[in-house]
Amino acid sequence: MAAGKQAPEVRTFPPLDAQISGVLKKARRFRAGFAEHLAFWVRLADAAVSSAGLFAMARPNTQPEDKGHDGLIFEVGQQSSQAELQSVKNSIAKAKPLVSTAGFRNKGVATAGAQLDDFWLVQNNNIGFVRLEQMLSEVTTSLGLTPDAIARQALLAQCAFNAVVFADPGEGTHDLFDGYQHVTQSALGRVATFVGANTWKETAAAVQDATLAILAAKGLG
Amino acid sequence: VYAERLRAYVKELGNLAGLSPDDVPLLEESLACYLALFARVVQGEATPRADLLTASLRLALLTRSLVLSDASGGLDGVHYLVAMGYEQGTASLARVRLSERPDDPLENDDWYRLLLATLHYLAGGYRVQALCTRRAVADAAGPSPLYASGHRILTAAFEGGGTNASALERDVAALTRGHATASESMAGLLLAIRHRTDVLLSHLGEHALETWGQRHELDPTGTDFWGRYLRRLRERGFTSFTREQGHFDEWLGRDRDLLVQLPTGAGKSIIGELLTALHLAAGAAVVWLLPTRALVRQVKRDLRSAFSKLGVDVEELPTTEDALPLFAEEAPVHRQVAVTTPERLAALARANPASLTDVRLIVFDEAHLLLERTRGVTAEHVLRVARAAPGGCRLTLMSGLQDVREPLERTMRALGATPRVLVSEVRPTRRIYGVVTDEPHGPEHSRVSVLVHPPSSNAAHPDVLPYAVQLRPGKRGPSDSKTDIAARLARSVLDSGLRSVFFLSSRRSAESQARTLAQKAKTPAGTQFRVPKSATARLRLELGRQAVVETTAPHRVAAHHSGLTPLEQHLVERWVDAGEVRTVFATPTLAQGINLPFNLSVVGYTDRFNQNTRKNEPVPAGEIMNMLGRAGRAGKVPDGLCLLALESPRTDRRRLMRRSGSVYFAEPVSRGAVGLAALLSSGYQAIGAPEWPLELSGVRSFSDAQTFLSLALRIAATGVEDAPGVGAFLEAYPSVSVIDARLRERLATAMASLIAHLRAILANDPVALQITARAGLPPEYCAAIASAVATAPVGEGDYLEWSDNAVSAALARGSARAWHRDLFAAHSQDTVLLAIREWRSGKSVSALERILVNGKVTRAHVGEFLNHQMSLLAQFWAAVPVAAEARGRADVLEATRPYAALVRDGVPTVDALVWLRALGGLDRVLAKGVAEASPLATTSLPQKQRAARKLVTQWRSGRAAPPSNFAIVLEDVLADIE
């Protein structure tokens, strides 16, 4: 360094977290993560339009393969509140096997991995409690609820499942969510969201490309 | 149906949330979750369906609310409800595995929820309930080392939050890495537990021992003892007390008497233990009274765990309860705890009046024994004697029954005590009441249905639509009797892992159902219970034949009734406790004070045949409830499913619920008279008749008659004979002092008449009067024994043959009397005496069966005879040494003193008797054999006892080899001994 001359400012960017980088660069993982994040915003946007009271949604999973439920929205009211557990799947081929197994659709026999089967396991086998606990903690913190108010919401809450599917529009058939009745007898407890993207594979790839381009422009990669 | 206490907790939660209790759905949802699990294990279908997501969400939020609340709490009930919710919604039911066991314990949902349940219970002060969930946590754990962190966290929680805070933090961090909320939940609950413990133990003086010792007038040694005891409390995990227990200032003191009314398993024992520790700290001896030997053994074990490490001896009084007891020289002394029955303490006090000198506290558990006619008199007598002992003795009476507070309090006041009263209705287990029935399913099929009263059901509305679990349909059987319904349910639960007891009305029915179920069971060889060879050898030695349980136990089924030998009953109980036998068909014998970890109890009859009226009569609601109460066990099984088998009305389930409501919502029958007053009130109309002392009829039992005879002559021995004098004597008994004056007058008149008639019958012979008073046997019999002893040969050494002949001849004198007819209704006197000789010679049970079994008398009858009649008949031998003492015949006295014990226990020699006790009291034939193989060289009884106990200890530790010909049998016996 020459004397009397101020060193030029050097801005450095941290390298991307290896796991995040893995999600961004693998098409299949990106699609899954993208679906989860998109579902998060879709549901929040829906709540912003439809909810009469306060609401909050737990952050989506960091990794698309993370265990447990993909989302939880909590809408708070004085006399009632609604908690909706969300599971997100995406498909570039056949969506139906991801939604439920044939055994579940026909006989209600659940096998872990398919969306409705997993809901059944939540409903009957206590699967995923620690993730549920984590998400509830996030939403109650976001909502700024006092201990008394949390107790009140605990007793007022009504629960529902929301099966969210991203796929090509042709996959959104009338029988896509067959077997949902095995999860819960309450019709109000069964929510299904189909997001048809034309075509889903190309849509996700385009977003992936754009994302990587933005990051590259910022020196992250 | 749900305890009022749970409703109070719901109200507490409602207050916290600002909601009406009606808007708190926790009980209903929790019950639905529990029944869903039950349905799964019996392959049935539950309605309404459980909503686990909603239940889980509520619980997780409530945990968060409690964790964020001030740790100083006041929310005990909310902690209880949350813990209950976690517990009832997980696989703790029958320890059923519903999920894999992932390496990360927090991904093991059952494990994690049960851990949270345990922490919530402890945070609310519900230690006994926490013991249940802690067991379940251990059962649900996987092999990953992270589970060990969870185990250490729970150990610290039981110690009141742990003593090593940084180690605990490390364990929480290791367990919850990546799960911030789980970490917060655990840390918050541990903080609440620590706070609670610190407050309570500081009330017990933990942080200011010296001041505490001064306040309780303890010297420095006593204060040091108390401090060491408190450390033992922590080590043993006794750091959590319920609200009622926690008010120590009100009940913990050496200057007060106490009446404790808490349900069984709800923490009576720890109250008695704390009082015991305080009196021990002051250097006193303490006596615990229990109604049965089984309970004596259990309490001795518990108290040893509390006090042995502090250098305190906890021993069972070795005394026998005879008129002239054996082992009467061993009395409780300074800083010692003696555990015994009222009868044995009475015998000790009678033989050794100075034996209670050092005793400053008597803790009487199951004190409602005072309300029993015969045993209540002895219990009352013991309390009087203890109370009058020099130095004074404080009383703590404890009972789990709700309807006895008033008579017990009255009795204590009459004894000069002004008791503090400690009452709680918090049961350590929850009971879920309902019906099992058989509902039609199409024209040819039916299905067993379990219908459960919902939480909203009550006495005013017993017919609320029930929660239901329907089993798989099957072909309708030829009969749908209650027994058949119970049997069909038994078949369904056999493979479920549930431990179940089915109460049937007869021994025959219990045994045949057990055999049938075992025969029909398709238990794969790999899952059969392999009855240990040592246990089989033990049974064969005692019985001399194959036991029924040998054939049924491999299929995890057994019968339990009063016709089985104590050894058979014991093995069934042991195997149920260990989970090896899961389905038991029983008669009400099993309901009498035995606590086994049953998940399910079913009563298969609601009426029974009365021999006296020759009619079927309804079984009292209290008796049914007592049987059903066998389901659930403090510290082991949190929820008991209690079902009444009822035939289906085919149409309306509500009708069934209404019918069962008459049992479940029946008002408890108030209990009035206690002890002597109860006895006198039941029989005074009969005893005044001139012929009564000869016939002894018109009272409820031979034991009642004995007590009347004995009491009348004890009164006479004080020089009192007329009705006013007798009245004054009786009035000294607390129970009599408080009854109506006119009734008391009638009782006194009847007793005075009895005294006069006895004097006339015994021709005022002082020896015969003394024998009758002490032995309480028919006066004609006592007079005959008195004569026989007067003419007994001198210096015979062995008077056994002579005694047998004397007893036989004296009994024959009463052959025309009612008592003799009753006593020998099934077999002639000669046959019974022949059987007694065989029994006393230490022969196997089958030798007696060869004598006693005939067309009318079955093996089960013989078992009942051995269990119940033998101790009564033994008393006829007990009269002989009493007569010898009265006649001054030391040689006869010395020789005949143990004969009654030999007859009662079925062994031929005193050495065999000593061995029988040292080996646990169940194996007579073995005791005889060991006595022959390992003679006890010493002479005095206490020395023999000590020598036998020492050898047993050496055999157990392997420092000495047991007699080789009994090695296999002893393997099982020694494993049984604490």
Give the pLDDT confidence of B369-426 residue by residue, as tens digits: 888 877 888 888 889 888 887 778 999 999 887 778 888 998 898 888 889 999 877 7
A108 in reach of chain B (CB within 8 A): no
Scan for tokens 């055994």, then name that residue. A103
**Range in A77-81, B512-516, B657-661, B915-919 the model is least confident about:** A77-81
Contact call for residues B831 and B528 (beta carbons, < 8 A): no
Contacting B residues, span 559-598, partner chain A, CB-CB under 8 Å: none
Contact call for residues B113 and B136 (beta carbons, < 8 A): no
pLDDT in tens, A50-65: 877 899 999 888 788 8
Scan for tokens 């919902």, then name that residue. B454
In the predicted structure, residue A2 carries a pLDDT above the cut 50 = no
Sequence-ordered list of residues with C-beta below 8 angstroms from that of B415, at least 6 positions apart, any chain: B383, B384, B387, B395, B734
In the predicted structure, residue B759 carries a pLDDT above the cut 80 = yes
Q: Are strands B615-618 and B607-610 parallel, antiparallel or unpaired?
A: antiparallel
What pLDDT shows up at residue A1? 35
Mean pLDDT value across chain A: 89
Assign B591 a pLDDT band (cuts: 50, 70, 90): low
pLDDT in tens, B436-482: 999 888 888 889 999 999 888 888 888 888 999 999 988 877 677 89
pLDDT in tens, B868-914: 889 889 989 999 999 999 999 999 998 999 999 999 999 999 999 99
Contact call for residues B885 and B893 (beta carbons, < 8 A): yes
In the predicted structure, residue B966 carries a pLDDT above the cut 60 = yes
In the predicted structure, residue B324 carries a pLDDT above the cut 60 = yes
In the predicted structure, residue B594 carries a pLDDT above the cut 80 = no
Q: Where are the alpha helices (DSSP H) in chain A?
A: 18-25, 27-50, 96-99, 102-107, 115-125, 129-143, 147-156, 200-217
H/E element, B946: helix B941-957
Assign B744 a pLDDT band (cuts: 50, 70, 90): confident
Q: How far is CA A180 from CA A175, A176, A188, B56, B238, in A?
A: 10, 10, 12, 20, 49
pLDDT in tens, B341-354: 888 888 788 777 77
Contact call for residues B888 and B824 (beta carbons, < 8 A): no
Phi-psi region of B335 (alpha: psi -120 to 50; beta: other; left: phi over 0): left
CA atoms within 13 A on the CB side of B539: 19
Q: How deeply is B319 buried, as exposed, middle or buried, from its count of CB atoms within 10 A (0-12, 13-18, 19+)? A: buried
Give the A:B interface size as CB pairs under 8 Å.
121
Q: How confident is the model over B293-301, as a mean pLDDT?
A: 81
Among A125-129, B169-173, B851-855, top mean pLDDT goes to B169-173
Q: Which of B469, B470, B474 is nearest to B444 (CA)?
A: B474
B893 phi/psi in degrees, rounded to 5: -60, -50
In the predicted structure, residue B783 carries a pLDDT above the cut 70 = yes
Give B17 to chain A, closest Cα distance, Å. Answer: 4
Q: How far is CA B117 from CA B34, B99, B701, in A?
A: 15, 18, 50
From CA A56, how far away is CA B721, in angstroms rounded? Answer: 89
Side chain identity at residue B318, one-letter code: P
Q: Which residues of B touch A140 (CB under 8 A)?
A: 61, 64
Assign B96 a pLDDT band (cuts: 50, 70, 90): low
Q: How confident is the model over A1-21, as a mean pLDDT?
A: 63
Name the token pair of B924.
């007579």
pLDDT in tens, A123-158: 888 788 999 999 999 999 999 999 999 999 999 999
* Positive or negative torsion for Cα B11, B16, B17, B18: positive
From CA A109, how far away is CA A102, in angstroms rounded? Answer: 9
CA atoms within 13 A on the CB side of B15: 10
Q: Which of B283, B308, B297, B299 is nearest to B364 (CA)?
A: B299
Nearest CB to B24: which of A132, A155, A161? A155
Q: Which of B157, B396, B457 is nearest to B262 (CA)?
A: B396
Query: What was the ipTM of the complex prediction?
Result: 0.91
The secondary structure of residue B372, as a DSSP letter, is: S
Q: Which residues of B touch A129 (CB under 8 A)?
A: 56, 60, 109, 112-113
A192 phi/psi in degrees, rounded to 5: -130, 135
3-state secondary structure of B653: helix
Contact yes or no for B60 and A159 at CB 8 A: no
A144 in reach of chain B (CB within 8 A): no
For residue B919, the tally of other CB atoms under 10 A from its CB is: 23
Bridge partners (DSSP) listed for residue B509: none
Name the token pair of B369.
């024994």
What pLDDT shows up at residue B294? 72
Contact call for residues B615 and B404 (beta carbons, < 8 A): no
Q: Chain B interface, mutation test: which of A132, A141, A155, most B Cβ atoms within 10 Å?
A: A155
Question: What residue in B sits closest to A126 (Cα-Cα)?
Answer: B109
Give B901 to chain A, closest Cα distance, Å. Answer: 58
In the predicted structure, residue B216 carries a pLDDT above the cut 50 = yes
A80 in reach of chain B (CB within 8 A): no
Q: Which of B292, B402, B322, B410 is nearest to B678 (CA)?
A: B410
What pLDDT shows up at residue B972? 96
Scan for tokens 């239940």, then name that residue. B55
Question: Strand ranges (DSSP E) for B343-402?
Answer: 359-364, 394-399
From CA A50, how far away is CA B872, in angstroms rounded? Answer: 82
**Range in A158-172, A182-196, B606-620, B772-786 the model is least confident about:** B606-620
A148 in reach of chain B (CB within 8 A): yes
Q: Which residues of B touch A151 (CB under 8 A)?
A: 13, 16-17, 61-62, 65, 78
Q: How confident is the model over B766-795, as a mean pLDDT?
A: 91
3-state secondary structure of B479: coil
